[in-house]
Structure 1
Amino acid sequence: MAIEQSVDNVLEMPQRKLVVAKNDIDLSNNNQNDIFILMVQESAGSAGGRGGGSGNRKIDKVMAFSCSEGICDKYFESFDPEKIEQFEIPYSAVAMDIKLSSGRQLVVQGLVDPDFINGYRELINNMKNQ
């Protein structure tokens, strides 16, 4: 069984990822936040930008964390392609400054969008009820 990964560790991983959060990510405070991390599959030709919009982003793992009072708990994780393909990919993701629990600044690709988060949470609830 894999060692439980903290949200800090996942955000610091070198693998490309898309981060969607309900609020700005500052893990050094006690604010409530939902954070979804969509890990981008590493494949030939996916390095660098998608010049002129060519190419695509294939997600191979989705994780969700709920943060409150300085603690982030992972409440969802899936490698299942059938589940992953149901998550809308945020093509409007931009470079986003975040702060880890140590106070260290990091730049990730992502966006703050409560509507995306609400849709993702609804999707997870539907998956659990199937």
Structure 2
Amino acid sequence: MKRAISIGFALVFVAVLVSGAMAFGPGYGMGNGMMAGNLTPEQAQKFAQFQKDILPLRQKMLQLKTELMILRTQATPDWNAIAAKQKEMVDVRTEIQKKASEAGITNLGPGLCRGGKGMGMIGMGRMGM
């Protein structure tokens, strides 16, 4: 039974990581400030490098979201573990923001961590999930 659960979790985890990696494409996660088609080649190259640099952080965020979902769906949720996982997610978001600042990327707008859908976490003044 434990082995089946472990295999199931591993399959879900891999599927989440693969779907997140495959979602990277033109325009993915650029937010309002970068979606305009008036980027210079230099700006486009800088942003492409930024996306490449934060890919491990985005994958980590997907992993943390999956783990948080699993923690929340337990019969008796461990609220301390949930709080710790949420703090890890905030730390990853902060790291993405730092990398954006270091790369000179400004005006990211909503969607950097959510693939351009809905109210994003960066630039919106909230810590949603």
Normalised by the length of structure 2, the TM-score is: 0.28
Q: Tell which structure's C-alpha radius of gyration is larger.
A: 2
Higher strand share: 1
More helix by share: 2
